[in-house]
Amino acid sequence: MAFPLRKLELRPLGNTGLRLSCVGFGASPLGNVFGAVSENDAVASVREAFRLGINFFDTSPYYGGTLSEKTLERVTRSIDESLARLQLDYVDILQCHDIEFGSLDQIVNETIPALQKQKEAGKIRFIGITGLPLEIFTYVLDRVPPGAVDVILSYCHYSINDSTLEDLLPYLKSKGVGVISASPLAMGLLTDNGPPEWHPASPELKSACKAAAARCKEKGKNISKIAMQYSLSNKDISSVLVGMNSVKQVQENVTAASELALFGKDQEALTEVEAILKPVKNQTWPSGIHQS
């Protein structure tokens, strides 16, 4: 690397008392979600992340059929199995994953109360919910007791092509809920290699992101770095969670954060990318089941 890396900034997570590294390690690639990853590469990337100051790691039995952790059944059994695989007595944050694929009323009336019992038992410290549609967060948070949900994890809604999470931040802050934003690269859209074939974005959105990436490359810039720094710039977001599957990716993401702290954003490059993506700004895709 061109210069010594700064220590990663730690940011408070809502009212939890936790301070997360501004860059979080998304472990879905370790479950071969985006392509095959060797065990040696997976282990090396996690070790390097620890070495460089990343203290937030997100994993799930959903990623690669337990590969990422090392299906999902009833709450208590699932937690116990996860703790056994992770060789832990408790986890700091347990998140209800992609809740839009189930009944939100069941999340409110059954899942969150069940998780609160596990919290009382000392198996989890804090409770979170995750998903793509932003309206799921207000639906649940308006219906559970204050403090019942500590954290939300939103993905693909705070990146150069879609920043709609920003409008929800004052509401989340008023609820005392910590915010984690995942997929700053929009699940591969904002990369030189482009997204995987299964990516649900429209052809129009994929084409615009491809054009933006090509323009950055022409100018000797890396669109992933620009996107990562864009997402890291909002201090109301506690951690930007990005998938990593190699030592190189870990170093690149930590370098992006270090350079942002030292030099700020590359505003000229960012402005050009934003102009290319303007016709598709805030375009998303459906996720989950119809909620009655």
Which residues are part of the catalytic machinery?
Answer: 63
Contacts of 30 (CB under 8 A, 6+ apart): 37, 42, 45, 46, 59, 63, 64, 67, 68, 245
Q: How far is CA 222 from CA 231, 253, 287, in A?
A: 15, 12, 29
d(CA 127, CA 67): 23
- Report CA-CA distances (Å) from 277 to 42, 73, 166, 187, 195: 33, 41, 18, 16, 16
Give the Cβ contact number of residue 168 at 10 Å: 18
190 in Cβ contact with 209 (< 8 Å)? yes
